Amino acid sequence: MLKYILKRLALCLLILLGVSLIIYCLIRCMPVSFIDDKIAQMNQGGATIPQETIDSMKALYGLEDNSFLGILKGYGSWLLSMLRFDFGTSFKYGAPVIDVIKDHMGVSFAVALIATFFEFMIAIPLGITAATHQYSVRDYVVTVIVMIGISLPSFFFGQMLKDIFAMKLGWFPPSGLIDASSDLTGIARIFDYFRHMFIPILTVVILSIGGRMRMTRTNMLEVLNSDYIRTARAKGLSEKTVIYKHAFRNTLIPLVTSLAGLLPSLFSGAIITEQVFDLPGIGNKAFQAMISADIPFIMGYNMFLALLSVIGVLLADLMYAWVDPRVKLQ
């Protein structure tokens, strides 16, 4: 087991190196530049910027050379800084990238963690009951919920919920994280946070349970048609024991595969949902940095998610051995 983990960790380093190179090259090839965007904003204000000033600004930010060798040189400088655990200073936010991520990651993590908890608590039982009552009314209801969750775009569904619960009914605030006009403390402040986060969490939960329910239902139906399930029923075991002790454990194997993406999803932020509800999460900050071509922040943010992704895949592989004893890690 230890040898397998060490081998996978060495492979993860190579993967992260390749991912960082690809992301950096893609960012440098974007049609927008942070300096060009700043110059355009200054020109709109009536200022005339001489070319010498533009060249000096690009040199200051390391964007003066967009040739292939210039991009590789810029990547080398970034890589050396990263090896010293220095992800640079964000162009847009004017603060260290690590500080920006730490300051805004908590909101995204809270929304994702609560939404993931309710997603599993709702999707897995509904998927099981749909599979055990195939072609019944509850199966068709679950199928409709699955279609809604898969089909509706988050920006449309989130805006629809905000219009109903915030604009028309007035039960919850339409946007933001706190009420700036109030000075709440203690339990009252926590309750205010909950009121602001309710609709975003509801949006994420409803749109995410569809795929999880469909996966659980499909895998459970496949397992229930297995020979060992018929043997368990022939031995006189109760239906509850057959489903939850024998069938459900084998259903966990495909679910463990999906858990590989769970770790990065907890920290990446729901970019579109945070935009709709104007939440100060890391996803919102990443979107603003991306449209501004903020190279240090985009690199730091994506490498953070890439690291979580390879860790999630490694943990999923290790969980296979726990779920299925037949799996041997070498």
Number of helices (H) and strands (E) in the chain: give both, helices first: 15, 0
For residue 167, count other CB atoms closer than 10 A to its CB: 10
Model pLDDT for residues 49-97, shown as the tens digit of each residue: 666 776 776 776 677 777 778 888 888 888 888 888 888 888 888 888 8
pLDDT band at 47 (very low <50, low <70, confident <90, very high): low
What pLDDT is stored for residue 180 in this prediction? 66
Contact 296, 285 (CB under 8 A): no
What pLDDT is stored for residue 117 in this prediction? 87
CA distance 237 to 173: 51
Q: Which two tokens stand for residue 325?
A: 């004893």
pLDDT higher than 80, residue 42: no
SS3 call for 67: coil
Mean of pLDDT over the chain = 80
The domain locations on the chain are 97-323
Instruction: Kindly list the distances between the CA atom of residue 159 and the CA atoms of 152, 164, 202, 233, in Å, as whole numbers in the listed order.
Output: 11, 9, 12, 48
pLDDT higher than 70, residue 13: yes
Report the b/e string of 137-159 with b at 16+ CB within 10 A.
eebeebeebbeebeebebeebbe
Contact 286, 110 (CB under 8 A): no
pLDDT higher than 80, residue 323: no
Architecture of domain 97-323: Orthogonal Bundle (1.10)
pLDDT higher than 80, residue 179: no
Model pLDDT for residues 187-244, shown as the tens digit of each residue: 877 787 788 888 888 888 888 887 788 888 888 888 887 887 888 888 887 877 888 7
Using only C-alpha atoms, the chain has a radius of gyration, in whole angstroms, of 25
Residues 6+ apart with CB under 8 A from 150: 210, 211, 214
CA distance 214 to 295: 38
What pLDDT is stored for residue 90 in this prediction? 83
Amino acid at 31: P
Instruction: Kindly list the distances between the CA atom of residue 143 and the CA atoms of 18, 138, 200, 210, 221, in Å, as whole numbers in the listed order.
Output: 40, 9, 23, 8, 14
Dihedral sign computed on CA atoms, order 93, 98, 101, 102: negative
Contact 175, 277 (CB under 8 A): yes
DSSP 201-225: HHHHHHHHHHHHHHHHHHHHHHHHT
CA distance 10 to 6: 6
Residue (of 139, 317, 133, 269) closest to 213 by Cα position: 139
Contact 131, 214 (CB under 8 A): no
